[in-house]
Amino acid sequence: MDPLRRSPSPCLSLRPSSPSTPPCEMLGPVGIEAVLDQLKIKAMKMGFEFNIMVVGQSGLGKSTMVNTLFKSKVWKSDPPGLGVPTPQTLQLHSLTHVIEEKGVKLKLTVTDTPGFGDQINNDNCWDPILGYINEQYEQYLQQEILITRQRHIPDTRVHCCVYFVPPTGHCLRPLDIEFLQRLCRTVNVVPVIARADSLTMEEREAFRRRIQQNLRTHCIDVYPQMCFDEDINDKILNSKLRDRIPFAVVGADQEHVVNGRCVLGRKTKWGIIEVENMAHCEFPLLRDLLIRSHLQDLKDITHNVHYENYRIIRLNESHLLPRGPGWVNLAPASPGQLTTPRTFKVCRGAHDDSDDEF
């Protein structure tokens, strides 16, 4: 049995519980409010980190979506997989960029997964992805348990995994369900309906409802998870989002002129699909969720819940987790439970970056 499926994410209250303390009335302004500005200054100086992973079969527009989200060519050359024959193995490809907007620095890491679900036999195709996610947790854990620690541990943990569902219009496929079930326990997952321009509005709604039904039936808890809603405001806001998830998105990184305005869109013979137009697709919702409103929350849940879960499992049953390079074997595994250690081979593929060995 997949050990990672065993323990569900505990739903914890993320608001600190305080010992009962008497409230005090201050007779006038003191200046405590200024701490908010102090926080802002500190945050601006340190900068922010955000790690996002996109998962889905080839041709669903993952790379284009990333470009659209961050309004830039994130991949320095043509996205891997475009125009190249389907890779024989699943490869994870990560790129880090620093982007700045109005003085706010963001170190963005995007991990792409070309080759996912493309093979004839896709058994366990989620394992490398889970392995990668767990490896980031492991690296963080190793840094955290050092005696002499760094002041700021670099955070490479995946904060959000965007899962692209192909627009069949029917329901979730077995591959989708298997993957989502496993991943939701380890990382925040946001499913989206990819290439939604091939569905009409009614088809989209029906598809969405069916997917929501599927998710409920299979107990897949996607982001934003209901059990982490802090208060009534959160509940209201997140319920609205939960009603629209999965968002039907379209990605485009080319600009066209529509009614005198310059917009990002896809030009077809029957019209221009404007990416940022809510009447055409729900890309703005995805962008707002990931960047404008819930970025910090994604990071918090990753740190306070998913990472802690990993840590608990790791400290308790270290010999059952897949091993990677540099991992220390803490407890000798009993003979019946030895898992074959995963060997890491380099795939000398079409990329220049990936030609180093561990």
Partner 1 sequence: SYLSVVPRHKRENIRSLTMSGHVGFESLPDQLVNRSIQQGFCFNILCVGETGIGKSTLIDTLFNTNFEDYESSHFCPNVKLKAQTYELQESNVQLKLTIVNTVGFGDQINKEESYQPIVDYIDAQFEAYLQEELKIKRSLFTYHDSRIHVCLYFISPTGHSLKTLDLLTMKNLDSKVNIIPVIAKADTVSKTELQKFKIKLMSELVSNGVQIYQFPTDDDTIAKVNAAMNGQLPFAVVGSMDEVKVGNKMVKARQYPWGVVQVENENHCDFVKLREMLICTNMEDLREQTHTRHYELYRRCKLEEMGFTDVGPENKPVSLQETYEAKRHEFHGERQRKEEEMKQMFVQRVKEKEAILKEAERELQAKFEHLKRLHQEERMKLEEKRRLLEEEIIAFSKKKATSEIFHSQSFLATGSNLRKDKDRKNSNFL
What is the Cα–Cα distance from 169 to 206, expressed in whole angstroms?
8
For residue 288, state whether it binds partner 1 (rule: CB under 8 A).
yes
What is the Cα–Cα distance from 275 to 251, expressed in whole angstroms?
6
- Sites for partner 1 among residues 126-155 (CB under 8 A): 127-128, 131-132, 135, 145-149, 151
- Sites for partner 1 among residues 187-216 (CB under 8 A): none
What is the Cα–Cα distance from 106 to 69, expressed in whole angstroms?
14
Residue choice 235, 256, 311, 319 for contact with partner 1 (CB under 8 A) = 311
For residue 14, state whether it binds partner 1 (rule: CB under 8 A).
yes
For residue 11, state whether it binds partner 1 (rule: CB under 8 A).
no
- Sites for partner 1 among residues 92-111 (CB under 8 A): 92-104, 106-109
Residue among 234, 247, 239, 266 at smallest CA distance from 205: 247
Return the number of the residue (124 or 200) whose C-beta is nearest partner 1: 124
Return the number of the residue (35 or 279) whose C-beta is nearest partner 1: 35
For residue 258, state whether it binds partner 1 (rule: CB under 8 A).
no
For residue 27, state whether it binds partner 1 (rule: CB under 8 A).
yes
The residues, any chain, with a CB within 8 Å of residue 214's CB and separated by 6 or more, are 171, 172, 177, 220
- Least Å distance, CB 316 to partner 1, is 6
For residue 35, state whether it binds partner 1 (rule: CB under 8 A).
yes
For residue 227, state whether it binds partner 1 (rule: CB under 8 A).
no
Stretch that binds partner 1, among 161-169, 172-180, 189-197, 312-320 (CB under 8 A): 312-320
For residue 344, state whether it binds partner 1 (rule: CB under 8 A).
yes
* Per-residue buried b or exposed e for 69-106, using 16+ beta carbons within 10 Å of the residue's own CB: bbeeebbeeebbbeeeeebeebbbbeeeeeeeeeeeeb
For residue 339, state whether it binds partner 1 (rule: CB under 8 A).
no
Locus of tokens 């059990």 = 227
Residue choice 25, 259, 270, 332 for contact with partner 1 (CB under 8 A) = 25
Return the number of the residue (156 or 212) whose C-beta is nearest partner 1: 156
- Sites for partner 1 among residues 160-189 (CB under 8 A): none
Return the number of the residue (205 or 341) whose C-beta is nearest partner 1: 341
For residue 293, state whether it binds partner 1 (rule: CB under 8 A).
yes
- Sites for partner 1 among residues 58-87 (CB under 8 A): 69-74, 76
Return the number of the residue (146 or 279) whose C-beta is nearest partner 1: 146
Residue choice 7, 89, 168, 200 for contact with partner 1 (CB under 8 A) = 89
For residue 318, state whether it binds partner 1 (rule: CB under 8 A).
yes
What is the Cα–Cα distance from 211 to 286, expressed in whole angstroms?
17
What is the Cα–Cα distance from 189 to 224, expressed in whole angstroms?
9
Sign of CA dihedral 219, 179, 135, 351: negative
Are 142 and 149 a contacting pair, CB within 8 Å? Answer: no
Q: Tell me the C-alpha to C-alpha distance, in Å, between residue 302 and each of 171, 185, 196, 309.
A: 28, 11, 29, 10
Residue among 306, 270, 265, 298 at smallest CA distance from 283: 265
Return the number of the residue (203 or 300) whose C-beta is nearest partner 1: 300
User: Site size for partner 1, by CB under 8 A?
Assistant: 111
For residue 257, state whether it binds partner 1 (rule: CB under 8 A).
no
Helix (H) or strand (E) holding 30: none
Are 91 and 347 a contacting pair, CB within 8 Å? Answer: yes
For residue 287, state whether it binds partner 1 (rule: CB under 8 A).
yes
- What the block records as the tokens of 344 is 């890491």
Residue choice 1, 28, 174, 268 for contact with partner 1 (CB under 8 A) = 28
